[in-house]
Amino acid sequence: MELFSLTFHKDIFIPFIWQRLKPDHKVHPPVHCSYEYILLPVVPISILVVGLSHLQNTAGIIAVIIGAVGLLAMLTQSIYSLRGTDFKPTIGNFCLGFFLFFIMSGILSGLIIGHSQSSCYKLSGAALGMTIGYFVGILAGMWGQYLGWMGIIIEYICWITLLGMTIPVILLAIP
């Protein structure tokens, strides 16, 4: 079945999303992510933040490079940890946090673009942004499964960011 066909969205995808949003639904990620893996990115992120605050001198630039290389190395290791397995992305392991993050990002960007114009521009910008976010979110939700254990961490970050984006969306949507 085509990923972007009307039948897929009407009969499979929308009911699947509603099922996943129910509070009693348990999701079992395809990759194990222990607490050590969740705490591991704190080190390069901390180095990156300290380096960004001291970016005027050479030590800050070196710290930013070290932090960025550390995050990139962890992401690469996370992706390569799936090699040699029979892992394939499935709709059952769909990353719902990625999907909803892109929808909310599209709505927020549409509202920001149309903010200085009339309500009609805000509404049409939000609708266009939501539509683009919907299709990009489907791709991100499927391909996010390839990120391994870092994908689980990034999905948690998407959920937290999604909650933080609701307040600006509500404030910008009010005329």
- For the stretch 109-132, pLDDT in tens is 888 888 777 778 888 888 999 999
Q: What are phi and psi of 82, to 5 degrees?
A: -85, -10
Q: Which pLDDT does position 26 carry in this prediction?
A: 62
Beta strands in the chain (DSSP E): none
Evaluate whether 64 touches 55 at the Cβ level (below 8 Å). Answer: yes
- For the stretch 32-64, pLDDT in tens is 667 777 788 888 989 999 999 998 889 999 999
Does the model's pTM come out above 0.85? no
Q: Which residues of 89-128 are buried (b: 16+ CB within 10 A; e: fewer)?
A: eeeebbbbbbbbbbbbbbbbbbbbbbeeeeeeebeebbeb
What would the two tokens of residue 25 be? 């639904």
Q: What are phi and psi of 31, to 5 degrees?
A: -125, 145
Half-sphere exposure of 114 (CA within 13 A, CB side): 22
